Structure 1
Amino acid sequence: MLDLTLIPATGTALPPPFEGRHLIDGEWRASRDGRTFDRLSPAHGTLASRSALGCEADTEAAIGAARRAFDDGRWSRLSGKARSAVLLRVADLIEANVERIAVVETLESGKPISQSRGEVGGAADLWRYAAALARTVQGDSHNTLGSDMLGMILKEPIGVVSVITPWNFPFWILSQKLPFALAAGCTCVVKPSEMTPSTTVMMGELLLEAGLPAGVVNIVLGYGQPVGSLMSTHPYVDMVTFTGSTAVGKGIVTAASGTLKKVALELGGKNPQAIFPDADLDSAADAVTFGIHFNVGQCCNSGSRILVHEDIAQDFTARVVDLSRRVAFGDPLDPQTQVGAIVSEAHQRKIHGYVEAAAGAGAEVRLGGGPLTVPGLTGQFYQPTVVAGVTPSMAIAREEVFGPVLSVLTFRTLDEAVALANDASYGLSAGVWSENVHTCLDFARRVQAGTIWTNTWMDGFPEMTFGGFKQSGQGREIGRYGLEEFLEVKTVAMRVGRTRTPWVRTR
């Protein structure tokens, strides 16, 4: 029997399946062809939701509604104060509905209910911060161009934005994009992942209750084909913002190139943490354990590879193994559960394939390494897994496993740690653990990643922007830079008086 911490099925009565429809031009609609699709709970195996299956006609209608809503100015020409007031009402409504939304998110995604509550409740702060930014959009003026000229740089909403979100943090990532687009004055068409569609529909309910004008936000449920594809290519769409895999992100860039629309991408990561001998090893081990098991490792910011100094590698790995045994895996509806279910059977097979390949190449599986059975549940779970003796050339060290699987590599010098950290096609985030501030600053300045954490992991704030280097994406989310993504820059040159010298001589 595995020496792990398991939480069996709670026997909690499950709510009836959520019924989701499209939100188009302020109305809830079934699909034009009447089709639907089902989502089974990855932890319980029961029907979690039944949703309208979007077709091309549904997507066209949603995009058309967003285009009309932008062009007639019902939102784009409102004052920042008026837009801010609506966003603040949304934040209040989110907080009033945390439990209802969190239960649905847990059933569709398999994540623990305590984490769903934190994700949904925390999203309200993103809406409040975006509301504050709505009143601060400003450009520049140039009063030094001569007595006869005045220059202005205006910032205006980019237009209609397609928002395509993933399954791992459906409510949170929507809240990293949507309120900032709305604060800028844009109108939107939203497509959530087909695996976790329902909390986006619930967000739509809150938007209407908050008084958002019809057509400003439209939601189409369904698959990448045809919904996501049309949202990426339609000439009425001015920008696409997407979070998901690097492979799909590249496809969106290709699709959007036909109309040269702006594309913002938040993609994969293979995020390193370097642990030096002078670090607080207890704190580092706890943070590493959190970083790999949070959201079952199904997180773009997962701390999926650690770089440990040779002098402490054995001891530190043992600490992480011991802590991982204590992490509570099991029924996500139990508030004590820390790690829930893998999102699908196919994804579980992919995770296991990486572990088997690493073991076959000579790595040592120190803990876990296979599927996990949770008493009373029929869904898919994976053991907390620690793989040591990993070399930089192994796939498990280079590719995004997206599961509770930690790869352990070693280094001898700071230069080697930096080289290992940068030896990846990704550059989303990285971490460094040392009591020496010079070590931390040197590592932070040299590592190619959009976020560097020092002596912590995965702390985030609405004020602190987020995004990646290299194949982890392009553009930024949240913070002031997150608002800037949804703005166009316009130059206005104004001549003062009748001072222009004629170009054509009339006499």
Structure 2
Amino acid sequence: MPRAHERTTIINTLPQLPPARLHIGGWIENSHNAEVRDPADTRNIVASAPRATRAQAIEAVQVAVRGSLEWRAVPAIQRGEVIRRASEIIAERAEQLAVAATLEMGKPIAESRGEAARAVEHARYFSTVGREAQGYTANLNEPDAQAFTLRSPIGVVSVITPWNFPIMIPNWKIAPALAHGNSVILKPAEVSPVTATLLVQCYLDAGVPASALSLLIGKSSEIGDVLLTAPEIAGVTFTGSTEVGRKISATAVGLGKRVQAEMGGKNALVIMDDANLDKALEAVMVGGFGTSGQRCTSSSRILVHEAVFEEVQRRLTEAVGQLRVGHGLTAGINAGPLASESALEDVMQGLERAVADGATVVAGGSRAEDSDLANGWFLQPTLLTGPATGAAFSEEIFGPIVSLHSIKDIDEAIRLNNEVEYGLSASIYTSNLEAANRFIFETDTGMVHVNRPTVGAEPHLPFGGSKASAIGPSELGAAHQFFTKTRSAHVRWKF
């Protein structure tokens, strides 16, 4: 198998993507278009995207207010049928969505196809929530009376999403928001506007009213404050960096709005001396280098028992060197580019800080600049070793960089897992039941895995973290906690 730095064959003809568009009560065109460039070869302009104005953002809020009243009046089970139709349309258009995602942000097409499939699964799950019990009955201390609780939509929701999962993350926010009767204004990352356009089209074609789902593409500096501060906005759900999430929370919560922010991670995967090493190393490669490390749940810290450390390092060094770097639409590629020039610069600076703090590069460690890759934002998949301190250990370096650290026992594994400011996901590979259960109960992360990778999102389970990784309720299986408000009714039927 070719090494990471060896030449790969780049496809000759790229598919043509449709233009990205704004949707505010209907599809509209903007004259202020921006180029969308292929991150694997920036000479290729793969699409054009409009930039919404502040006035259009204000208009979208007013449209969403009308949409909220219209959509919440639709019975919940009927809303679920619309979401179910959306899941079917997403499945029918999965290849178009996957190609758009790969061309816009660079991940290998196999990953984009998997993302589209997960979006179908998530939408299908949320199509059923209208059939679930929505509350409970309770007694009152008086005759001929009863109380019960019910859930109601919160109203207009701003959905602000990143570029790393341009199909799945917008979808897992849109689907529950709509299923619970809210209207949505989606602001996707500027990197992935076409994917967002195609996804919104799926929901509109399924029967979501045009007023209930808006799409704003543009710069946060121009339209972001409207989505946070407009009095009609009831809630803001965001996925992105901890720094931005905290700023959003400070602004929106201060105005009395709900905030759900899924933020950064510095996730540990622990390999004990009794682990199945084949499975553990497979999890490191999937969790650490999938999506070129651009996942909040990436396995960026590998805590390895000292008895197997040398073997793990040797085998991982070999596996990292076998990764094929190249254009995501090229057959056999399993490592794509970083999503943007700024993303690459940030990761390179993080790598420099890690080395300055004492980390040693054992594989990769520089830009991939083979002639086929020189025009893209590529970084060689990188493996580091070093002390459990410094940037490699504690900073979220959002790229294909994994660091190995030696540990003595389960006590040290738990302590090191908990030492960082983040608390999103963690995993342990072990055959020891006591160690596994201690890890589950003593680690401070929102999600914990045993003999599974740190990555993954099940629609029926909560997705979220603790500490610097999250603000507000979790997503997916806990979505109702954010998208609905609980009310109580007190009824006397006899006077």
| Same-fold status (TM-score > 0.5) | yes
Residues in 1 aligned to 2:310 and 2:82: alpha-carbon distance in whole angstroms: 54
Greater Cα shift, 106-115 or 206-215: 206-215
Asked if 1:469 is matched to 2:466, the reply is yes
SS of structure 2 residue aligned to 1:329: coil
Asked if 1:43 is matched to 2:40, the reply is yes
Which amino acid letter does the alignment assign opposite residue 106 of structure 2? G
Q: 2:98 aligns with which of 79, 95, 102?
A: 102
Gaps of 5+ in 1: 499-507
Equivalent residues in 2 for 1:50-65, closer than 5 Å: 50-65=48-63
- Aligned residues of 2:5 and 2:368 also touching (Cα < 8 A): no
SS of structure 1 residue aligned to 2:406: strand
Q: 2:267 aligns with which of 267, 271, 290?
A: 271
Residues in 2 aligned to 1:361 and 1:69: alpha-carbon distance in whole angstroms: 53
Asked if 1:387 is matched to 2:391, the reply is no
Post-superposition CA distance 1:179-204 (Å, at most 9, x none): 01111011110000011111111112
SS of structure 2 residue aligned to 1:49: strand
Partner of 2:395: 399
Cα displacement (A) at 1:58: 0.8
Residues in 1 aligned to 2:40 and 2:365: alpha-carbon distance in whole angstroms: 19
Cα displacement (A) at 1:495: 3.1
Cα displacement (A) at 1:144: 5.1
Cα displacement (A) at 1:7: 5.8
Asked if 1:489 is matched to 2:493, the reply is no
Cα displacement (A) at 1:292: 1.0
Greater Cα shift, 314-323 or 87-96: 314-323
Which amino acid letter does the alignment assign opposite residue 107 of structure 1? L
Post-superposition CA distance 1:211-231 (Å, at most 9, x none): 211211000100112222210
Residues in 1 aligned to 2:94 and 2:55: alpha-carbon distance in whole angstroms: 33
Alignment root-mean-square deviation, CA: 1.6
The TM-score, its normalising length taken from structure 2, stands at 0.96
Asked if 1:242 is matched to 2:258, the reply is no
- Aligned residues of 1:8 and 1:375 also touching (Cα < 8 A): no
SS of structure 2 residue aligned to 1:328: coil
SS of structure 2 residue aligned to 1:75: helix
Which amino acid letter does the alignment assign opposite residue 158 of structure 1? I
Residues in 1 aligned to 2:12 and 2:437: alpha-carbon distance in whole angstroms: 49
Partner of 2:187: 191
Residues in 1 aligned to 2:217 and 2:331: alpha-carbon distance in whole angstroms: 30
Greater Cα shift, 146-155 or 402-411: 146-155
The TM-score, its normalising length taken from structure 1, stands at 0.93
Which amino acid letter does the alignment assign opposite residue 69 of structure 1? G
Between the two proteins, what is the percent identity of the paired residues? 33
Asked if 1:345 is matched to 2:341, the reply is yes
Asked if 1:30 is matched to 2:29, the reply is yes
Post-superposition CA distance 1:111-148 (Å, at most 9, x none): 11111111112211111000011222511111353324
Asked if 1:232 is matched to 2:231, the reply is no
- Aligned residues of 1:142 and 1:151 also touching (Cα < 8 A): yes
Post-superposition CA distance 1:225-258 (Å, at most 9, x none): 2222210111110000000001110110122134
SS of structure 2 residue aligned to 1:51: strand
Post-superposition CA distance 1:141-192 (Å, at most 9, x none): 1135332431111111111100000010011001111101111011110000
Runs of 4+ in 1 over 6 A off after TM superposition: none
- Aligned residues of 1:164 and 1:228 also touching (Cα < 8 A): no
Partner of 1:66: 64
Cα displacement (A) at 1:357: 2.4
Residues in 2 aligned to 1:191 and 1:374: alpha-carbon distance in whole angstroms: 36
Partner of 1:153: 149
Gaps of 5+ in 2: none
Equivalent residues in 2 for 1:273-422, closer than 5 Å: 273-377=269-373, 378-392=375-389, 394-422=390-418
Partner of 1:448: 444
Greater Cα shift, 100-109 or 452-461: 452-461
SS of structure 1 residue aligned to 2:474: coil
Cα displacement (A) at 1:375: 4.0
Residues in 2 aligned to 1:3 and 1:191: alpha-carbon distance in whole angstroms: 39
Rg larger in structure: 1
Partner of 1:502: none
Which amino acid letter does the alignment assign opposite residue 470 of structure 2? G
Cα 1:226–1:296 shift into 2, 3 Å: same
Partner of 1:18: 18
Q: Work out the number of aligned pairs and report it.
A: 490
Post-superposition CA distance 1:10-59 (Å, at most 9, x none): 3241133531111111x11123xx31222211102111221110111110
Residues in 2 aligned to 1:224 and 1:318: alpha-carbon distance in whole angstroms: 44
Partner of 2:176: 180
Equivalent residues in 2 for 1:76-115, closer than 5 Å: 76-115=72-111
Which amino acid letter does the alignment assign opposite residue 10 of structure 1? I
